[in-house]
Amino acid sequence: MARGKKLYEGKAKVLYEGPEPGTIVQYFKDDATAFNAEKKDVIDGKGVLNNRLSEFFMLGLDQIGVPTHFLKRLNMREQLVRRCEIVPLEIIVRNFAAGSMAKRLGMEEGTKLPRPIIEYSYKDDALGDPLVPEEYIAAFGWASQHDMDDIYSIAMRVNDYLSGVMYGVGIKLIDFKIEVGRVFEGDFQRLVVADEISPDSCRLWDIETGKKLDKDVFRQDLGNLTDAYTEVAHRLGVLPKNP
Ligand code: C5P
């Protein structure tokens, strides 16, 4: 499918104008970055895996009535998505302590949290996506109270869905990040899950062994990232296993 002009290039994806108004072609690169792009590499095949995995999760969400931007996968690296106005927040849901939360609170990684905890970062690379209280979100007008109620409910439904799907294949969902966007239909506005859901944006640990199957493999130099993502894809049946 012919792509239109490039609209945006991020760390892991490129967005192009789509073939019809209101659509975008989302291209998944092989680039991996961590620590706000201080650590960088190109990981062969990562983009292909994330394109497939994100398609799988977005379709699963659609089936349980959580709206997403996903329209269809176009090829190995591209998917067609609905154009939306991204809410400038990274929405993080945690089930177990890890990453920045474990560090901030001096908790051991893997400690079960009393309940799923949601937190918000303001999307700004130059500032390193700082954690922000809901008070800032309201005061600076990044999202209305109505949006925040929707965001909370979407995030918890995504957590239920993803935790269940992962648990079914022997994987513990430690935490994840989503982004949401506003889609306008006449006077009506609704929020949809946008961007991607993939092992780049989740922490996934094998239930039995605790082996990490997500981007921490890259962040912490734990081995081959493509192998980890391929294992997730195989377990979910997203990619056929080699005979
Ligand atoms: O680093 P931190 O512990 O705050 O990350 C929480 C979750 O959000 C992790 O699954 C991480 O991969 C994801 N995340 C992300 N993009 C960011 C920051 C965090 O996908 N910019």
Q: What is the pLDDT of residues 174-206, one digit of tens each?
A: 999 999 999 998 889 999 999 999 999 999 999
Q: Is 89 in the pocket of ligand 1 (CB under 6 A)?
A: no
With a 6 A CB cut-off, is 212 part of the ligand 1 pocket?
Answer: no
Q: Is 129 near ligand 1, meaning CB less than 6 Å away?
A: yes
Ranges in the chain annotated CATH 3.30.200.20: 6-82
Give residue 241's pLDDT band: very low, low, confident or very high (50, 70, 90). Answer: confident
Q: Is 232 exposed, middle or buried (0-12, 13-18, 19+ CB in 10 A)?
A: buried
Q: What percent of the chain has pLDDT over 70?
A: 98
101 C-beta closer than 6 A to ligand 1: yes
CATH T-level assignment (fold) for domain 85-224: D-amino Acid Aminotransferase; Chain A, domain 1 (3.30.470)
Nearest ligand 1 atom to the CA of 201 is 20
202 lines ligand 1 (CB under 6 A): yes
Is the shortest distance between the CB of 33 and ligand 1 below 6 Å? no
pLDDT at 15 over 90: yes
Ligand 1 atom closest to residue 129's alpha carbon, by position in its atom list: 21
> What's the whole-model pTM score?
0.97
**Nearest atom within ligand 1 for CA of residue 177:** 8
State the distance from the centre of ligand 1 to the C-alpha of 201, rounded, in angstroms. 6
Residue range(s) of every CATH 3.30.470.20 domain in the chain: 85-224
Q: Which amino acid is residue 230, in one-letter code?
A: T
pLDDT tens-digit map of 157-174: 999 999 999 999 999 999
Probe ligand 1: pick from 103, 171, 175, max atoms within 8 Å of CB? 175
Are 188 and 167 in contact by the 8 Å Cβ rule? The answer is no
Give the torsion through C-alpha atoms of 146, 193, 200, 164, to 10 deg: 90
Residue type, 67: P
| Alpha-carbon span 167 to 169, nearest angstrom | 5
Architecture label for domain 6-82? 2-Layer Sandwich (3.30)
* CA of 215, closest atom in ligand 1: 12
Residues 44-53: tens digit of each pLDDT:
999 999 999 9
Q: What is the pLDDT of residue 3?
A: 83
The reply to whether ligand 1 has any atom less than 6 angstroms from the CB of 119 is no
CA distance 69 to 98: 28
101-125 tens-digit pLDDT: 999 999 999 999 999 999 999 999 9
